[in-house]
Amino acid sequence: MIRGRGLAPWIAAVGVLAIAGCAAASGRPTATAVAGSPAPPPLLTATSGPPWLAEPLVDVRTGAQVRLGDLAGHVVFVEGMATWCPPCLEQQHEAASALAQLQSEAVVYVSVDIDPREPVATLRDYVDRNHFGWRFLVATPAFLRELAEAFGATILSPPATPIVVVDATGNAMLTEVGIKRASRLVQLAHALGA
C-alpha cells in the first residue's frame, strides 16, 4: 500500500514515462543527461510565430495581463510548472543561478503554472515563500491547448520540467525533457544571442 501522498504522483510519473516511451518509439528525438555524456542536442522541436505567444496570461504578483509576445526582442525562457512539483522547484533554483550568471537584460525567464486545478492563491504563496525574482503567470485553457498542439502532451507535465525558449524574433523551441542545469540554460541563452 502506498502511504502519504496517495496515488496521484505515481499515476503522473507513469504517465510521463509512457509519454516518453511513446516519443522514443515514434522516432521523435529525445535527450537524456547522463554525467560524463556529451551535451544533449541544442533543441528538440521548433515552431515559428506560435499563437500561444498572443494569449493573455495573468501575473500572479500584480494581477496584470501579460502576453509573452510582448517580450519580443528578448530571449524568453517559458517554464511550465506547478507548486506541488519538486523537480519544478529544483529547475527554478537552476534558473536563478543561470540568471545570476547571465546578468543580461536580453534574457527573460517566466514560470507558467500549467496545472489548471491549482488555485491562484496557492501559486502566490509559493512565489512569496521562494523569493524568485521573475514573473509567475497563470495559464489559460487556450494557452495550454495551444502549447500541447505545438509541442505535444509532455509540455503539460510539470515533473518533466518543460521549458520552451523563444528567441528574439519569436521562434519557439522546446528543450530536452528533465532538469536543465544552470550551465545548460546559459548555453541556450548564448546560442540564441543573449
In a domain? residue 70: yes
Structural domain count, the chain: 1
Would you say residue 30 has pLDDT above 60?
A: no
**pLDDT range class, residue 103, cuts 50, 70, 90:** confident
Q: Which three cell numbers stand for residue 54?
A: 498572443
In a domain? residue 24: no
pLDDT reported for residue 49: 66
Render pLDDT for 70-93 as a digit per residue (tens, 0 to 9): 998 999 999 999 999 999 999 999
In a domain? residue 6: no
In a domain? residue 184: yes
Among the listed residues 57, 43, 60, 56, the one whose alpha carbon sits nearest the alpha carbon of residue 166: 43
Among the listed residues 106, 90, 77, 52, the one whose alpha carbon sits nearest the alpha carbon of residue 174: 77
CATH number at residue 67: 3.40.30.10
In a domain? residue 30: no
In a domain? residue 93: yes
Domain region containing 82: 43-191
Check if the beta carbon of residue 185 is closer than 8 Å to that of residue 98: yes
pTM greater than 0.85 (yes/no): no
Count CA atoms closer than 13 A to 7's CA, side-chain side: 3
State mean pLDDT over 38-64. 71
